[in-house]
Structure 1
């Protein structure tokens, strides 16, 4: 899953989690009529906005399997019905794509804000079955079988849209390994582009589309698999094809991007005080380790944090960077501020991270960061990655700042979050990437970690889709 071998306890935790949900998966209703051999499953209510919903699911064979033992794909049609909850007579087809695919993606727009809808997704007339358990946290959950409620838009006019992403892992060739060759992992099919580039290209293409309209992209770490020079150059090339570093897109270093040792890295700049470590990532993205970056977009202050250590998967904030952040925030405490860094911060995040609390930002750094935020009224949002999941948390005893972990771009659920900033608040929505190859790879990696991956990473609807009312009237439109 990430650099640096986990403890035996962490590995056993994953194995235990994997065993728990399997009995709940793909439970078809008794007596359901369906074409022989067709499996319609893995239904996710991915995105709920104020005017739209996006559903995804998979159609496969009950008897034939692929090389990983998963149901072989069966291409069928894609249909969605909507109506009023508790009133089956109102259910009507609102989306029907007759082109055949096994990787179904249905986005229905034109919905009413703040309204609850009943829904059915189906292929070849067979209803798709939801097979993902979603565990609510402190943010609560709006999940219920067969229904969803559209969001209420934030007050005021729309100013600009930020895209939040992380965990691109360019250069990675095998997905889903914790340690050694365990557990069973997944690779791209021969002849196809590397899957990290497939998923990154799909995201970048999405963000420029009229129905997404991202103005700025933030990448909160793990741009590369292991910061090898060719991979750092490649991810910079791909991102530069989308926009300019420091104005269109902004990055923070992740633990996979940290300075490395060994012959493959010897041509890069040595790290002061640790000359056996060479910083290939820092040679391409011109930011020194454990230093922050600060920019403004429409008056919004964007602060990137480098939370990496030299050799561990977990994170820290060294004294110099904390001091710089303290001075930066103290000089303009009321300015609306969004921070992003790779490692999650809050206590709730630490105790619910499958790899254990040591995988997140260390406790002294986390508490120091929260103390700064409590003293800075303008701070309202902190974006992180690293856990590869969608999860929304807050500081102990205060909801003044939203801490949002965003799922990985490079594997299931395979996407990004849009943060639509209005003068009276903001709206958060998570989106899967939708190219054919991206949907195919996302479905394959759904089976990571013995099938537990969706139950941990997708998050509740409320985690990944919500509206927050806040006075942001001092910001300007782009």
Structure 2
């Protein structure tokens, strides 16, 4: 067969595939190239928040409505044009389905896993709101490279490369945590819990800076130790010294609820460990407060388990949760991402909630609102100009897998947990 005939046959067979490639993949990519990395971050009973990037500085808007074909409402950005965007849309109705699309000039966003183009607003638990609290975790004061994976005790060797911020005079740990604290003050919870890793290398200077920042919270706050807040060969426990703690594990009450803050860190090297004395204190505290609904906080995710979690500790912790039906939920830090697992004990479930960090992607904190019949959990994003750019940069952590590893699902970042009937019976009306 002649070569020209072969070419004609090839063209006849391949042209349809080329058109499919063009219209299904290449043209849509070019059409949406100006809008990238859209993420539906938060959904409450009356609002939703989106993040996205654009390839040039511009002002955009979010179109939304009750159907995909009739997105008849719009919420527009204001101020100067930008490449890194965050916009919260308010005034929605509870328990309703909405559709949305980002519009930047003539370009419109497409649906992705992180931005599906639709959602249903939350429905609040019945009864009145009793109080609210924020959870901020993993501040990592004076950290200079984000996204590293260091084994406890290792100060240099990382398993993967990390990211640095362009301005050494305003490091990322400073502006992200500062913005998170400003946003917490705007939301006005009754108190804040800081769930460990306040520092990077447990120096007195780092602890003092952390305290100076946290003292700007306009409500009481409570701190827990993380693996970066260990002691090693220091002559004294600086975590306890700087924050004036007689003991590194303790409890407090709020509105008829008990809050237990544990120290899950082995002081000499930062690995997970809970002493026999602390186990006995935990069991005694729960036994003595059996009629108080209880939230438990610890830096390490003991209830879920992970590499480095002592299996015996996990087994004992789960046994304690099972034997104490007044326990509502456990909150953790350490992982830096959003994750929720529901542990089942017969008909009862106990949420195990890992709260994201503010100092890198996904960059935020948690707001928890406690009602008579349940609680509402919402992720709250940092929103300063540098925060949004840094969020975009650190989205590339873990070889670009940060959204899959730490982003979590929408329902892990925003959900309503109805109290079991036995918990509702304990709540003081």
Q: Do these two structures clear the TM 0.5 threshold for a shared fold by scoring above it? A: yes
Q: C-alpha distance in 2, partners of 1:159/1:192?
A: 42
Q: C-alpha distance in 2, partners of 1:122/1:232?
A: 44
1:451–1:130 Cα change, 3 Å: farther
Displacement after TM superposition at 1:252 (Å) = 0.7
Which structure has the higher relative contact order (CA within 8 Å, separation 6+)? 1
Pairing partner for 1:442 from 381, 391, 401? 391
Pairing partner for 1:421 from 351, 370, 375? 370
1:226–1:129 Cα change, 3 Å: farther
SS in 2 for 1:329: helix
Q: Is the 8 A contact 1:44 1:130 kept in 2?
A: no
Q: Which runs of 5+ in 1 are unaligned?
A: 1-26, 61-73, 135-143, 270-278, 351-356
Confirm or deny that 1:31 pairs with 2:12. Answer: no
1:29–1:288 Cα change, 3 Å: farther
1:28–1:48 Cα change, 3 Å: farther
Displacement after TM superposition at 1:29 (Å) = 6.1
SS in 2 for 1:31: helix
Q: For residues 139-150 of structure 1, what are the structure 2 equivalents within 5 Å?
A: 145-150=116-121
> Which residue of structure 2 aligns with residue 297 of structure 1?
254
Q: C-alpha distance in 1, partners of 2:29/2:266?
A: 56
Q: C-alpha distance in 2, partners of 1:112/1:163?
A: 24
Displacement after TM superposition at 1:76 (Å) = 1.1
Q: C-alpha distance in 2, partners of 1:59/1:104?
A: 8
1:17-56 CA-to-partner distances (Å, cap 9, x unmatched) read: xxxxxxxxxx9965349689x5311111100111111011
Scaled by the length of structure 1, the TM-score of the pair is 0.77
Pairing partner for 1:196 from 161, 173, 193? 173
Confirm or deny that 1:256 pairs with 2:233. Answer: no
Q: For residues 20-419 of structure 1, what are the structure 2 equivalents within 5 Å?
A: 31-32=27-28, 39-60=34-55, 74-85=56-67, 87-88=68-69, 90-99=70-79, 100-129=81-110, 145-179=116-150, 180=157, 183-190=160-167, 192-209=169-186, 212-243=187-218, 248-261=220-233, 265=234, 268-269=235-236, 279-287=237-245, 291-346=248-303, 349-350=304-305, 357-359=306-308, 361-398=309-346, 399-419=348-368
Q: C-alpha distance in 1, partners of 2:425/2:99?
A: 36
Q: Is the 8 A contact 1:314 1:343 kept in 2?
A: no
RMSD between aligned residues: 2.4
Q: Which runs of 5+ in 2 are unaligned?
A: 1-22, 151-156
1:176–1:91 Cα change, 3 Å: same
> Which residue of structure 1 aligns with residue 379 of structure 2?
430
Q: C-alpha distance in 1, partners of 2:111/2:212?
A: 39
Displacement after TM superposition at 1:237 (Å) = 1.0
Displacement after TM superposition at 1:183 (Å) = 2.6
1:179-237 CA-to-partner distances (Å, cap 9, x unmatched) read: 5265332112125412112111111100111xx23221011110111111100111011
Q: Is the 8 A contact 1:334 1:377 kept in 2?
A: no
Q: C-alpha distance in 2, partners of 1:126/1:192?
A: 37
SS in 2 for 1:429: strand
Q: C-alpha distance in 1, partners of 2:313/2:111?
A: 39
1:249–1:473 Cα change, 3 Å: farther
SS in 1 for 2:60: strand
Q: C-alpha distance in 2, partners of 1:428/1:441?
A: 25
Displacement after TM superposition at 1:439 (Å) = 1.4
Scaled by the length of structure 2, the TM-score of the pair is 0.86
Counting helix residues as a fraction of each chain, which structure ranks higher?
Answer: 2
Q: C-alpha distance in 2, partners of 1:216/1:28?
A: 51
